Amino acid sequence: MSEIAGAPGTADAAGGPEPTTERKTSEVLHFAVRNPKLLIGLGIVLSLLLLGIIGPLFIEHGPNEYVGPKSQPPSGEYWLGTTSFGQDIWAQFVFGLRATFLIGVFGGGVAFVIGTTVGFVAGYKGGIVDEILNMLTNVVLVLPALVVLIVITAYLEVRGVFIQGVFIGLTSWPWAARAVRSQALSLSTRDYVDLARLSGRRTWRIITTEIAPNMSSYLVMSFILLFGGSILIAAGLDFIGLGPTNGVSLGLMLESAMKWSSLYLGMWWWFIPPGLGITAIVGSLYILNVGLDEVFNPKLREL
């Protein structure tokens, strides 16, 4: 769901990344620690990640168990209150965070692998391979991902985070492929790549040793965007009721909050935290990405 926002790939027209073979790490660091966008974004994402990892360890009961009184507003005992069934919303929230990061890693990961592979091969090989892969990319690109996912997952018997991630990955890679392709295209004509090719090295090695490292910053940013996109798509699926069976996630929390009338029963503590969690994660990822962009791309630095 993040094809545009801040994606450096949309700036096809703008020049590619600087192929300075030895980027000065110290210089990057110098700007990184001084970039507020990067720091704030990273700070929020990491603290939420930490919460998702550590939080569940301190909760003795399962997130869906009935532990407390019903429909309680937030209190000292139940930090985010309880649901109509007496489930602890704080517990659901931290477990949900964990699941949300997981789906980001699975979905984003699968999309990243497919996207970059297709992009590199197409951009490097060119010719008929490029034509075919490009065609494929365009086909998947125009298919509306969520609707495809709805139709596919509706038929699945058992739905889990993993399967969901794979399907999300399978439908959301095209823009990354496109962006990587255009970068690889420009890099593959550089002298040092030609040199490597003349020396008879295998395509795969040229891609991994010569091309990829020179656009690593670019790849990192693509992954971050795919990560955030997967989270949003997964939340949408969960909300429609096609989430992991018996699972916990922020999207499923939103679904049950809506299903069990939290809006009309005035239980704001049920539907605000999950949405806020998703927004915080994805929003900070985006902002983090802008920060990264500024650090890696000297032209954008505001001096």
Q: State which residue, 92 or 210, has the beta carbon closest to another protein.
A: 92
Q: Residue 66 in 3-state DSSP?
A: strand
Closest CB 135 distance from another protein, rounded Å: 6
Q: What angle do CA 120, 123, 126 make, to 5 degrees?
A: 130
Closest CB 77 distance from another protein, rounded Å: 19
Closest CB 208 distance from another protein, rounded Å: 28
- At which residue do the structure tokens 């969520």 appear? 146
**Tokens at 255, concatenated:** 């679904």
Nearest to 111 by CA among 145, 81, 135: 145
Closest CB 24 distance from another protein, rounded Å: 21
Query: What's the DSSP call for residue 300?
Result: G
Closest CB 102 distance from another protein, rounded Å: 17
Closest CB 220 distance from another protein, rounded Å: 17
Q: Which residues contact 213 (CB under 8 A, 6 or more apart)?
A: none
Q: State which residue, 211 or 285, has the beta carbon closest to another protein.
A: 285
Name the β-bridge partners of 87: 66
Closest CB 207 distance from another protein, rounded Å: 26
Q: State which residue, 84 or 186, has the beta carbon closest to another protein.
A: 84
Neighbours of 206 (CB within 10 A): 20
Q: State which residue, 122 or 233, has the beta carbon closest to another protein.
A: 233
HSE, CB side, 13 Å, CA atoms: give it for residue 168: 32
Kindly report each contact of residues 48-51 with a partner whose C-beta sits within 8 Å and lies 24 or more positions away, as own/partner. 48/97, 48/101, 48/277, 48/280, 48/281, 48/284, 49/97, 49/101, 51/94, 51/97
Q: State which residue, 59 or 148, has the beta carbon closest to another protein.
A: 148
Q: How far is CA 260 from the centre of its chain?
A: 29
Q: State which residue, 42 or 235, has the beta carbon closest to another protein.
A: 235
Q: State which residue, 193 or 232, has the beta carbon closest to another protein.
A: 232
